[in-house]
Amino acid sequence: MSGPVRIRAGLLTDPGQPVAFSFDGRALRGLHGDTLASALLAGGQRVFGRSFKYHRRRGVVTCGPYEPCALVDVQGPRGREPNLAATTLPLHEGLTAFSQNRWPSLDFDLMEVNDLLGRFLPAGFYYKTFMYPGWAWEKIYEPLIRRAAGLGRLDAVVGTHADPAETVHAHADVLVIGAGAAGLAAATLLGSAGLRVTLCEQDVELGGGTLLDARWNDWRRQAATALPALGVRVLTRTAVLGAYGHGVFGALETLTPEASARLGGLRERLHVLRARRAVIACGASERLIAFPGNDIPGVMLAGGALGYLVRYGVAVGARPVLFTNNDEAYEAAMALQGAGIGCAGIVDVRAASAAAERAQAQGIEVHFASQVRAVQGRAGVESVTVAPRAGGASRVLPCDALLMSGGYTPLTALATQMGGDSHWRPELAAFVAEVPPDVGCLAGAVNGRQGLAASAADGRAAALRLCAELAVNVPTEPDGAEPADAAQSALEAFWEVRAKGKAFVDLQNDVTAADVRLAQREGYEHVEHMKRYTTHGMATDQGRTGGLVGSAVLAEARGEPLATVGVSRPRPYSQPVPFAALAGGEVREHFKPRRRLPLHDWHEQAGATFVSTGLWLRPLVYSRQGGWAPVLEEARAVRTQVGITDVSTLGKIDIQGPDAAQFLDFIYANTFSTLPVGRARYGIMLREDGMMFDDGTTARLAPEHFLVTTTTANATAVLEHLEFQQQANLASLRVLISDVTDQWAQFAIAGPRARDVLAAALPNADLSNEAFPFMAAMPVVLEDLPGRLFRISFSGELAYELAVPAQHALFAWESLLRAGEAFGIRPYGLDALNTLRIEKGHITGAELNGNTSAEDLGFGRMLKKQGDFIGRTLVRRPGMLASDRLQLVGVRAVDPALRLRNGMQLVTHEAPTESLGYVTSSTPAVESPGWLGLALLAGGRSRTGARLTASSAIHGENIEVEIVSPHMVDPENLRVRA
Amino acid sequence: MSPEPIPSPSGSPAPVRSSGRYSLWRLLAEGLRGQQGWRPAWRKPHPRPAYQVVIVGGGGHGLATAFYLAHEFGIRDVAVIERGPLGLGNVGRNTTIVRSNYFQPPNIRFYEYSLKLWEGLEHTLNFNAMVSQRGTLNLFHTEAQRDLFTRRANQMRLLGVDAVAVDRDEVRRLVPLADLDNGRYPVLGGFLQPRGGTVRHDAVAWGYARAASNLGVDIIEHCEVTGIRRDGGRVTGVETTRGFIGAETVCLAVAGSSSRLAAQAGLKLPIESHVLQAFVSEALKPVLDVVLTYGAGHFYVSQSDKGGLVFGGAIDGYNTYGQRGALPMAEEVTAAAVTLLPALARVKVLRQWGGVMDMSMDGSPIISHTPLAGLILNGGWCYGGFKAIPAGGMCTAHLIARDTPHPVAAHLDLERFAAGRTIDERGVGPFPYLH
Amino acid sequence: MLRIPCPWCGERDEIEFRYRGDATRVRPAPDAGLDAFVDYVYERDNPYGWHLEWWLHVGGCRRLLKVVRHTVTHEIRAVSGPQEDPELPPP
């Protein structure tokens, strides 16, 4: 017998529930509770994939989330999902997995040639070659590199709708991260003190290290049972991804396949947790030792081997050897020995140890002061060469698995993200972090504690401290009924065996100790430079198995202590996190809310094509056929008869108070205090830098009551601008600002027959020019519905806007349609509205682009001479007054058969590459053939009458245009005053 | 707006030596002798008491400025001093994109000049920074956006810069993963700059450092500036943690920290510091061949040669010097990613980090004299710092060596704010947190 | 992620608020002149350390707040209404 095999029932596996799955097309069986890795090991599989650069065969290294090698692709509901760690992937019926990074097959991979060429492919080789000829990088070298690199293959068929997703927002007094001995002890005590506690554990079971020590089974079960009764919220399979300050943490909960099926395919939840304090008890991770062949399938971390035995009943080999520098790793060898697996020996770099005495008592041979110099085997370990460290004869130990342990590194990432400093702890040969006291505390192995009992005590101490800080009564001291920790000898820092062959410090990215030394020789001697030059620690395990080892190799090469050299700074996320989980539910069709008009359904039934403008959905044209014809028909109705359009998206801000007029005088560049009640005025708002910010009409409804309208696009920004200015700069003014955009629906009725329509709809209103002239405003009653009528025009025609409470929009709209029937009224959409306003020379966002001044747009004379207003001073800077600034003009295509396009550049015949400006808006003219538009043109107003070329190079079009006044329809404003 | 042609980089780079020339042959030779013959890529000298030019900041712009001073202008009495190890600021923390598709004509000229310098960079430096001109594709989702991009592309074409409009079928061909129809804002089309692409960011810092060092520039790491010494209205050098270093000209190239350094010279700048997050996914076999920008949300992405998807979004939106980002932006960016490229749903994000940027008040950079004679400022790079490195270095070197601005950077002076000549790329006004 | 203690609404996530920049900048008198306005609109201390800044609580009470926040640690030391002058701690 050789290789891994299942020898007994595990803690998590259920022999009564077989599960069928497949790997690289082979049908296999595992048990419920298995991971893919444990099931494959149980079936004797040793090679799981090919490595990143050298395409060497790789097996399982760990039994947890920081697996560098055993990554697989899995056939998901929507296609192939890459890079799943087999070590945490729950086995489920029908699971279909594939090995990665091999061609054509796992056993025979042509890219293995890279391994033989390894001497020519050291770290960073690509920076030194592939430079000639220049074009070849994109055409030859890069495609080759890209194809060879990468790991998993993404091959997804995508559905048409967003998959289910959940983001959970929650609060707690204390967040406990990690449910090992320390975390369980802390959560229990905090919970019994009456605090609101959330406990997150990345594993499928609570317990952490206690899961691997049978003496702790009772203690663990007791704690796990007690927690819910204490009100502790327990989240298993939930990894805390990052610490974001102010007590905010992100955590990823991965659902079981069963839960996922039950919840309609929901795969995971993102928890956003807000806690007053945190107990970080996330433990430590075992690290590898660098020696030649430390990547051959069958070489794995000792703690991983123990995990497979206890959790899944799987022995990772029939004759394992252990290579260690610490006592803790002995547990794996002794447990296997105790399970009837004969250990082929223990190689301890130390001269003696307490654990060794126990192992020897079990009958295991211990090679003291020795090291593994070589590993034989390709598809799996066959033997190891062991030699005394001091030199001397080596021995070859036949074996089929090599368990290694270079010690344990506290998982300090969260602590350092919370602003903690790291300190070197020689007795652990690792860095331990602190956290600022006001964010919480560390407990257990992450805090440098060794042994489960010591960790539990540390967890209790942390909890007691937090109880005091949060001013809650400490419950009666619980008895520490934990099994005692075995006496341990100290570990000896040991990182690397220098011998012939590739000794890996990063198993996934294929970084060797020699690569690290090369980086140092080439001057990349800072740990961050070494990391970036070699890619050490940048793989999916984020350097958790070998990060410190690489630093140690670097430190030795630099001749400096590891404490000085340090490790690269860990960043979020603590585990790889699917895009879908971070993104949550607001994706695809739910990416942004849809803001619907009060009359959305009416527009839809009337055949409207909708367009998204910001969040709004607006009717573009009442036709689904496209093209300009229906648009021009709508516009023509307005020019010749009457049309009605829904302008409810305009921002509407209600301003009231004794100082409202004074407030508006400051906000607007023109004057509003002189506006009589019952009148509206066009206003321009500047930014403080003097550029135009927004425009719109503002009506005075009462002496102390104004209604401001804004452009649709700037509605939110203007509201915030007003609120900011009022509170920051004008706090002494008595003025109230309310956003009433959603409260009022508003319709424009425009065209020569507009007055007739309104007269029919509002028989009691006097709409004569004398009583209700252009720019007048008054309250009206439509049947019994109170509303507001404004005589304002965006189309250039005789026009009114009627505003009614939004909930009565349909009533008002239909009343107007009925009243207008006799006059041929028809609804018009945004396109026609745009056509009409372009002809009239009114501006929208295309011209109001944040880089145009009032002067540029022809409003220079509106700036008031008296009194302060926003933008007043900076608008007088010389650059704002330059004569060659882009100014608003009209353009007309000389040849009526040729079309204008928005974004065409304006040039002269003489200088066809020098842009003088560009077309901002364009449209076919309503009443005559040919195109016209608005443009921003350098010194534009002085060029009226000039002929220029409008050029769209991307369309290959150059057409002659005449520069005209922007007011191309009714420049004398007769129609609006009719 | 003068129609001055965008200059091409000078023809014949001087040979660069001393850490040894890099080539395939040397790589093979070293392979046969255990890679033992390589020397440090850049020297690690002790600071001398004085230099003609001291550049503060060993990032992309500082190193490039030093290189071009030596290489183009023959000024080799130059030190670059860096608080920590070189190249770990924004040059090592960005999303590696290079392009020149800007709205404002002066910005197009400047970034196009930069792109031209990128194009020959590996030969200029004898260092393969993997300039990969795979194309940058900006998607649009509304007609208004299409119009803006049309204007930009036409303006670029007038200036001789490449830009093409692509229809939905072409978008589909270029980005098979994109879902054009089912997002909240369907994709209507795109604009491609074929010469845009990516560059291996760390290699840019290393390549410039090595080439500058080989030309005699002293690169002094772990040397923090603690004060800027002046004599009357003129700068005389910098106080550092390794002693005073005299200089005729001091150049600040410390984007992200410009305000802090300028304060030491008694200057206040039109700059705020903000954090921009970036992310990288696990490595995948090739799935994305262009640099892709979503037009309906904050998301841009490319796939590195190693296979990771490198992506980013917008700044978090409040002043910070913390090189980390908040969760809301990460949620927003990944939501946009899944909306545009739904297949990414099951891909995993590995790492997230933040870079602190100089956000200038108009969203455009600053290469300028300052009120203190002899003090030159290179900063205010906003989102554009990485892609600007070659031109930023060249133009800053020009300003130092010739005392007049380089023609493509003449508009980037500090005076523009008081003069009303701001170059507001997106028209959002003097609100850095909105740029 | 910032949690801003709004005096009126309690502690809330940053996404409820709109940042409005440096609150030490005070709008000059109307006729203070070009330089004063250039300074007000464009020049910033941009401190590495304690920063007095405006936040508008748009997702809550819509009040404008002055917040004392550290630009490196993000610690919030004080929050007040717009007319108060919270003191900046020493750097």
- Give dist(CA B47, CA A719) in Å, integer: 56
Helix spans in B277-358 (H): 327-340
Q: Is the pLDDT of residue A479 over 70?
A: no
Q: Which of B248, B270, B257 is nearest to B374 (CA)?
A: B248
Q: Are A749 and A820 in contact (CB under 8 A)?
A: yes
pLDDT at B435 over 90: no
Mean pLDDT, range B200-221, rounded to an integer: 97
Rounded to a whole number of angstroms, the distance between the first and last alpha carbons of chain A is 103
Report all structural domains of chain C as residue ranges with CATH numbers, in order of start. 3-80 (3.30.2270.10)
CB of B15 within 8 Å of a chain A CB? The answer is no
Transcribe B368-425 into DSSP letters: EE-SSBTEEEEE--GGGTTTTHHHHHHHHHHHHHHSS--GGGGGG-TTHHHHT----S
State how far the Cα of A143 lies from the Cα of A138, in Å rounded to an integer: 7
Q: Which of residues 389-408 of A touch C (CB under 8 A)?
A: none
Interface check B428 vs A, CB under 8 A: yes
Contacts of residue A267, defined as CB under 8 A and 6 or more positions apart, other chains included, come to A163, A254, A255, A260, A578, A580, A581
Binding-site residues on chain C for chain A (CB distance < 8 A): 1-3, 13, 18, 20, 23, 27, 30, 32-34, 36-38, 40-41, 54, 56, 58, 62-64, 73-74, 76, 82-83
**pLDDT value at B3 more than 60:** no
Structure-token pair, residue A86: 């087999």
Q: Given CA atoms A10, A15, A20, A23 in this order, what sign does their dihedral have? A: positive
At B7 the pLDDT is 65
Q: Please say whether the dihedral angle defined by the alpha carbons of residues B258, B259, B261 and B267, taken in this order, is positive or negative.
A: positive
- Burial class for A4, CB neighbours closer than 10 Å (0-12, 13-18, 19+): buried
Task: Tell me the one-letter amino acid at A62.
Answer: T
Q: Is the pLDDT of residue B217 over 50?
A: yes
Residue A808 has pLDDT above 90, yes or no: yes
φ, ψ at A274 (rounded to 5°): -120, 120
Let me know: does B305 contact B312? Beta carbons within 8 Å: no
- Measured between beta carbons, the chain C residues lying within 8 angstroms of A586 are none
Count of H helices and E strands in chain C?
Answer: 1, 6
Contact list in A for residue C63 (CB cut-off 8 A) is 727
Residues B320, C45: C-beta atoms closer than 8 Å: no
For position B324, what pLDDT does the model report? 84
Q: Which residues pair with A80 in a beta bridge?
A: A75, A155
> What is the rounded CA–CA span in Å between residue A836 and residue A370?
89
Residue with tokens 């496209």: A626
Q: What is the pLDDT of residue A602?
A: 98
Query: In angstroms, rounded to a whole number, what is the distance separating the alpha carbons of residues C70 and C47?
Result: 9
Residues B329 and B313: beta-carbon distance below 8 Å = yes
Token digits for A756? 């007739």
Counting residues of chain A whose pLDDT is more than 70, the rounded percentage is 99
Asked if the Cβ–Cβ distance from C74 to B320 is below 8 Å, we say: yes
pLDDT digits (tens, 9 = 90+) for B345-375: 999 999 999 999 999 999 999 999 999 999 9
Contact A951 B131 (CB under 8 A): no
B326 has a chain A CB within 8 A of its CB: yes
Q: How many CA atoms lie within 13 A of C53 on its CB side?
A: 29
* B430 and chain C in contact, CB less than 8 A: yes
Write out chain C residues lying below 8 Å of B432, CB-based: 21
For residue B276, give both structure tokens: 């921009």
- Mutation pick from A111, A125, A127 vs chain B, by most beta carbons of B within 10 Å, is A127
CB B16 within 8 A of CB B122: no
- For C82, phi then psi, to 5°, come to -70, -20
Inter-residue contact A405 to A243 (CB < 8 Å): no
Kindly state the percentage of chain C with pLDDT values over 90.
Answer: 96
Tell me which residue has tokens 């008009």. Answer: A597
Asked if residue B168 lies in contact with residue B187, where contact means CB atoms within 8 angstroms, the answer is yes
Q: For residue A133, say if its preceding peptide bond is cis, omega within 30 degrees of 0.
A: yes
pTM of the model: 0.96
Chain B residues in contact with C53 (beta carbon < 8 A): 318-319
Question: What is the pLDDT confidence band of residue B2, given thresholds at 50, 70 and 90?
Answer: very low
Mutation for C interface: B320, B359, B364, B423, most C CBs within 10 A:
B320
Is residue A457 within 8 Å of A184, Cβ to Cβ? no
Residue-wise pLDDT for A47-77, tens only, equals 999 998 999 999 999 999 999 999 999 998 8
- pLDDT band at B73; cut points 50, 70, 90: very high
Gyration radius of chain A over CA positions: 38
Q: In this structure, how many other beta carbons lie within 10 angstroms of the beta carbon of residue A677? A: 14
Q: Which positions in chain C touch B260 (Cβ < 8 Å)?
A: 46, 48
Which chains are within 8 Å of C by 3+ CB pairs?
Answer: A, B
Contact residues for A589 (Cβ-Cβ < 8 A; gap 6+)? A161, A162, B182, B183, B184
The distance of Cα A120 from the centroid of its chain, to the nearest Å, equals 39
Nearest chain A residue (CA) to C72: A419
**Does B321 lie at the interface with C, CB-CB under 8 angstroms?**
yes
Chain C residues with CB under 8 Å of A247 CB are: 3
Q: How confident is the model at residue A583 (pLDDT cuts 50, 70, 90)?
A: very high
Q: Does the structure show a pLDDT above 80 at B41?
A: yes
Confidence of residue A894 (pLDDT cuts 50, 70, 90): very high
Closest by Cβ to C72, choosing from B263, B321, B432: B321
Chain B residues 60-89 within an 8 A CB cutoff of chain C: none
- Cα of C51 to nearest chain B Cα, Å: 8
Average pLDDT on A729-743 reads: 97
Query: Residue A109 has what pLDDT?
Result: 85
* CA proximity to B182, closest of B347, B339, B338: B339
Contact A583 B334 (CB under 8 A): yes
Structure tokens at A675: 């506006």
| pLDDT above 50 (res A615) | yes
User: Bridge partners of A433?
Assistant: A422
In whole angstroms, give the CA distance from residue A61 to residue A63. 7
Q: Cα–Cα distance between B147 and B162 in angstroms, integer? A: 18
At residue B165, does pLDDT exceed 80?
yes
Q: For residue A111, what pLDDT band results from cuts at 50, 70 and 90?
A: confident
Asked whether the predicted pLDDT for residue B13 surpasses 60, the reply is no
Q: What is the distance between the alpha carbons of residues A55 and A48, in angstroms, rounded to a whole number?
A: 12
Is there a contact between C48 and B270 if contact means CB atoms under 8 Å apart? no
- Kindly list the residues from chain C whose CB atom is less than 8 angstroms away from the CB atom of residue A741: none
Structure confidence at residue A150 (pLDDT): 83
Cβ–Cβ gap A246/C1 under 8 Å: yes
Res B10 pLDDT > 60: no
Cβ C2–A688 below 8 Å, yes or no?
Answer: no
Question: What pLDDT score does B4 carry?
Answer: 57
Cα of B269 to nearest chain C Cα, Å: 5
**Separation CA A580–CA A678 (nearest Å):** 54
A790: its two tokens: 């404004």
Where are the alpha helices (H) located in A75-136, listed in sequence order? 113-116, 136
| pLDDT over 90 (residue B14) | no
Domains defined along chain B, listed by start = 42-126+201-271+361-434 (3.50.50.60), 136-196+272-359 (3.30.9.10)
| A526 min Cα distance to partner chain B (Å) | 7
Contacts of A728 in chain C (CB under 8 A): 20, 23, 27, 54, 64, 82
Which residues, 6+ apart, have CB-to-CB distance to A449 below 8 Å? A182, A443, A455, A458
State the average pLDDT over residues A189-216: 97
Nearest CA to A613 out of A850, A834, A852, A840 is that of A834
Share of chain A above pLDDT 90, in %: 92
H helices of A841-882, in order, are 878-881
Residues C83, A731: C-beta atoms closer than 8 Å: yes
Q: Is A418 exposed, middle or buried (0-12, 13-18, 19+ CB in 10 A)?
A: buried
From the list A850, A875, A846, the residue with the least C-alpha distance to A862 is A875
Of B24, B151, B191, which to mutate for an interface test with A (greatest number of A Cβ within 10 Å)? B151
First to last CA, chain C: 22
Residue of C nearest to A245 (CA): C1
**What whole-number distance in Å separates Cα of residue A66 and Cα of residue A69?**
9
- Per-residue pLDDT tens over the stretch A562-576: 999 999 988 899 999
Test A573 with B352 for CB contact under 8 angstroms: yes
Distance from CA of B324 to the nearest CA of C (A): 10
Amino acid at position C8, single letter? W
pLDDT band of A106, cuts 50, 70, 90 = confident
Tell me the C-alpha distance between A493 and B29, whole Å.
36
Per-residue pLDDT at B373? 97
Chain A CB contacts of B194 under 8 Å are none
Which residues does residue C65 pair with via DSSP β-bridges, in sequence order? C55
Q: Which of B164, B348, B420 sits opposite A877 (nearest CB)?
A: B420
B1 pLDDT above the threshold of 60: no
Domains of chain A (ranges; CATH) run 5-115 (3.10.20.440), 166-284+439-469 (3.50.50.60), 504-570 (1.10.10), 598-649+741-851 (3.30.1360.120), 653-734+863-880 (3.30.70.1400), 883-978 (2.40.30.110)
At A102, the pLDDT band (50, 70, 90 cuts) reads confident
Contact, C69 vs C34, CB < 8 A? no
B210 Cβ partners below 8 Å, 6+ apart? B16, B19, B41, B42, B125, B127
Mutation target vs C (from B321, B331, B368, B370; most C CBs, 10 A cutoff): B321
How far apart CA A236 and CA A665 sit, in angstroms, is 60
Nearest CA in chain A to C82: A728
The pair of three-digit structure tokens given for residue A238, joined into one six-digit string? 């939930």
Any A CB within 8 A of B347 CB: yes
Q: Are C79 and C68 a contacting pair, CB within 8 Å?
A: yes
First to last CA, chain B: 24
**Closest chain B residue by Cα to residue A273:** B327
CB-nearest to B334 from A163, A528, A582 is A582
Instruction: Give the residue from C76, C77, C56 showing the smallest Cα distance to C65.
Output: C56
**A591–B158 C-beta distance less than 8 A:** no
- The span from the CA of A479 to the CA of C68, in Å, is 45
| Burial zone of A704 (CB within 10 Å; 0-12 exposed, 13-18 middle, 19+ buried) | middle
* Nearest residue in chain C measured CA to CA from B323: C72
User: Where would I find the H helices in A237-322?
Assistant: 257-262, 302-312
Chains that touch B (3 or more CB pairs under 8 A): A, C
| pLDDT score for A493 | 97
